[in-house]
């Protein structure tokens, strides 16, 4: 391959083949396990409608302005996240050390990748489980026929006990992710988004409509949208902001990296709004997809990972056509997880390629290998390594396994710090002439965006950071 150097001596930067490809890839990054697993569980646990309303508020006033800021930095710099920030800092005569904010995001993306693919591996397992079930019992019956409630309840714990199996599945999921990342932006990353996101939406709508006819839809609507403001405590509000940020993939240099492949003509405010709206719509529909099925089976809507990997399989047992719906459901979750893991792998790959001047495929292979190793440690943290607490000496992370530490370090520290620095950088440090012509916003909207980025975002995100570190501050 002949590489012609760019005008500044760097190799020419890759790019999306169209605006639609970028939008689908960014939605693919945003829509993931966070929408399907975490959002319904948190909404249910935290006061239904009040949480949902507040969450939408967070997306609009804090998430969206930061999303626009991140894509803007990426498109300005046309490089991996750290170099993009450095270029904007240099052009604004600010310290190049601002690039550290993106460096943290690069590391954070890698850490999320490592445990995210372990969960992706579980999804593969359930695809296999329901696939085999469908093969054995046919399309018409419920799922997992003949299995006792205890038998079904034992599936997930048994999987978590089996470190070797989980490692194997994790490796498989990382390898699938690698396949697309290694093929490049237009040749791989975009292909997976362009094909899987529409398929994801069809499956999500199809299963939700199925649940509306066969499940307890009205109860689910009541459950999810009955507004109980008394449950909206300080800590619940902060959980909503954190969830909004994770769900939009912010603070992790991801949207900077994807933004760097966008052409100059694209209106970033418009695309950011589409991405945020789609991500929020998916979270809400996911609630209306999961709860009718769970409530129809009379099961508890216990939160956390158990909702998807324990309660739902049980619920599919009594549904008509449960095994095929179960299979389609987990295929849908797999699609959403894959488009997010691709984004998570692309961030460190883009960074390392530029840093070490190595070819994309080789760089991605090394990153994938490292993610597999850390993934194996996460997989075994449910069994053999259950008593290994990597950051046990730090009170905030005491008692956490490898899997939990990766999640909590990124959620409590990296995400808020990355997002605070991004909003301060764009709102206060970068020169206005570099920013103002790029947002795609005019007049009052532009002023409002500037106000949010300069004031509201840093303030609210600082609160999240403080409460994350000192949970007692928030109370209840
Ligand atoms: N937004 C993704 C989800 O909701 C997770 C993610 C976080 C992806 C950060 C990329 C970067 O599952």
**String of DSSP letters for 39-56:** HHHHHHHTTBHHHHHHHH
- DSSP letter (8 states) at residue 227: B
- The encoded tokens of residue 35 equal 């929408």
- DSSP assignment of 143-212 equals SSTT--HHHHHTHHHHHHH-HHHHHHHHHHHHHHHHHHHHT-IIIIIHHHHHHHHHHHHHHHHHHHHHHH
| Contacts of 9-18 spanning 24+ positions with Cβ under 8 A | 10/79, 10/354, 13/78, 13/79, 13/260, 13/261, 14/184, 14/185, 14/186, 14/261, 15/185, 15/186, 15/261, 15/262, 15/263, 16/185, 16/186, 16/190, 16/261, 16/262, 16/263, 17/186, 17/190
Cα angle: 424, vertex 427, 429; to 5 degrees: 70
Ligand 1 pocket test, candidate residues 27, 28, 32, most atoms within 8 A of CB: 32
pLDDT in tens, 143-162: 888 899 999 999 999 999 99
Structure tokens, 465:
């950071």
How many angstroms does the Cα of residue 67 sit away from the middle of ligand 1?
A: 13
Question: How close is the Cα of 419 to the center of ligand 1, in Å?
Answer: 14
25, 34, 411: residue to mutate for ligand 1 pocket, most atoms within 8 A of CB: 34
Centroid of ligand 1 to alpha carbon of 34 (angstroms)? 7
Q: Which residues' Cβ are closer than 6 Å to ligand 1?
A: 29-30, 32-35, 109, 112, 246-247, 249, 252, 254, 340, 343-344
Q: How confident is the model at residue 10 (pLDDT cuts 50, 70, 90)?
A: low
Q: Please compute the mean of the pLDDT values over residues 314-341 and round it to a whole number.
A: 95
pLDDT of 65 higher than 80: yes
Pocket test residue of 247, 276, 285 for ligand 1, highest count of atoms within 8 A of CB: 247
Atom nearest to 250 CA in ligand 1: 9
Query: Rounded to the nearest 10 degrees, how much is the dihedral formed by the CA atoms of 312, 313, 315, 316?
Result: 120
Residues 6+ apart with CB under 8 A from 438: 72, 75, 76, 268
Q: Quick one: which of 253, 257, 256, 305 has its CA closest to 410?
A: 253
Closest ligand 1 atom number to CA of residue 30? 1
pLDDT digits (tens, 9 = 90+) for 359-406: 999 999 999 999 999 999 999 999 999 999 999 999 999 999 999 999
Calpha distance 190→196 (Å, rounded): 10
> How far is Cα 92 from Cα 75, in angstroms, rounded to an integer?
16
pLDDT tens column, 106-141: 999 999 999 999 999 999 999 999 999 999 887 777
Residue 45 scores a pLDDT above 90: no
Task: Give the percent of the chain with pLDDT over 70.
Answer: 97
Q: How far apart are the CA of 110 and the centre of ligand 1, in A?
A: 12
Ligand 1 mutation target, pool 284, 343, 414, most atoms within 8 A of CB: 343
Angstrom distance (rounded) from CA 138 to CA 312:
19
Cα(361) to ligand 1 centroid in Å equals: 23
Query: Could you tell me the distance, in angstroms and rounded to a whole number, from the CA of residue 247 to the centre of ligand 1?
Result: 5
Ligand 1 atom 7, closest CA: 249
**Whose C-alpha lies nearest to ligand 1, atom 12?**
32
pTM for the predicted model, two decimal places: 0.95
Nearest-atom index, ligand 1, CA of 336? 12
Give, using CA atoms, the residue closest to atom 10 of ligand 1.
Answer: 249
Continuous H helices in 381-455: 402-409, 415-424, 432-436, 443-451
457 versus 43: the higher-pLDDT residue is 457
């Amino acid at each position: 391959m002949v590489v012609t150097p760019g005008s500044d001596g760097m190799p020419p930067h890759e790019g999306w083949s169209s605006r639609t490809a970028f939008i689908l890839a960014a939605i693919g990054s945003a829509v993931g396990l966070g929408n399907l697993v975490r959002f319904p569980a948190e909404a249910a646990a935290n006061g239904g409608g009040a949480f949902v309303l507040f969450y939408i508020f967070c997306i609009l006033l804090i998430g969206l302005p930061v999303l626009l800021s991140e894509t803007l930095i990426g498109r300005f710099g046309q490089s991996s996240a750290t170099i993009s920030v450095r270029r904007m800092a240099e052009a604004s005569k600010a310290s190049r050390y601002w690039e550290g904010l993106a460096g943290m995001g690069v590391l954070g993306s890698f850490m999320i990748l490592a445990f995210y693919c372990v969960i992706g591996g579980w999804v593969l397992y359930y695809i296999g489980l329901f696939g085999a079930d469908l093969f054995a019992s046919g399309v018409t019956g419920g799922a997992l026929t003949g299995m006792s409630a205890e038998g079904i309840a034992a599936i997930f714990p048994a999987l978590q006990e089996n470190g070797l199996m989980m490692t194997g599945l994790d490796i498989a999921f990382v390898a699938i992710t690698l396949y697309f990342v290694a093929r490049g932006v237009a040749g791989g990353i975009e292909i997976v988004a362009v094909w899987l996101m529409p398929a994801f939406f069809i499956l999500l709508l199809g299963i939700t409509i199925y649940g509306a006819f066969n499940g307890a839809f009205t109860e689910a609507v009541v459950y999810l949208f009955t507004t109980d403001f008394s449950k909206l405590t300080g800590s619940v509000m902060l959980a909503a902001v954190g969830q909004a940020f994770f769900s939009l993939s912010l603070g992790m240099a991801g949207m900077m990296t994807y933004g760097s492949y966008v052409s100059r003509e694209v209106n970033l405010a418009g695309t950011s709004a589409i991405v945020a709206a789609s991500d929020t719509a998916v979270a809400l529909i996911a609630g209306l997809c999961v709860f009718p099925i769970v409530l129809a089976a009379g099961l508890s809507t216990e939160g956390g990972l158990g909702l998807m990997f324990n309660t739902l399989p049980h619920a599919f047992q009594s549904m008509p056509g449960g095994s095929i719906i179960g299979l389609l459901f987990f295929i849908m979750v797999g699609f959403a997880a894959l488009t997010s893991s691709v984004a998570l792998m692309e961030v460190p790959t883009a960074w390392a390629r530029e840093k070490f001047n190595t070819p994309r495929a080789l760089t991605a292979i090394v990153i994938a290998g490292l993610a597999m190793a850390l993934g194996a440690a996460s997989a075994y943290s449910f069994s053999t390594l259950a008593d290994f607490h990597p950051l046990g000496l730090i009170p905030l992370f005491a008692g956490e396994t490898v899997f939990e530490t990766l999640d909590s370090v990124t959620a409590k520290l990296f995400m808020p710090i990355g997002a605070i620095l991004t909003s301060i950088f764009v709102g206060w440090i970068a020169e206005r002439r570099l920013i103002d012509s790029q947002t795609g916003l005019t007049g009052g909207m532009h002023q409002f965006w500037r106000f949010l980025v300069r004031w509201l975002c840093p303030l609210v995100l600082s609160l999240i950071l403080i409460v994350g570190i000192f949970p007692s501050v928030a109370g209840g």
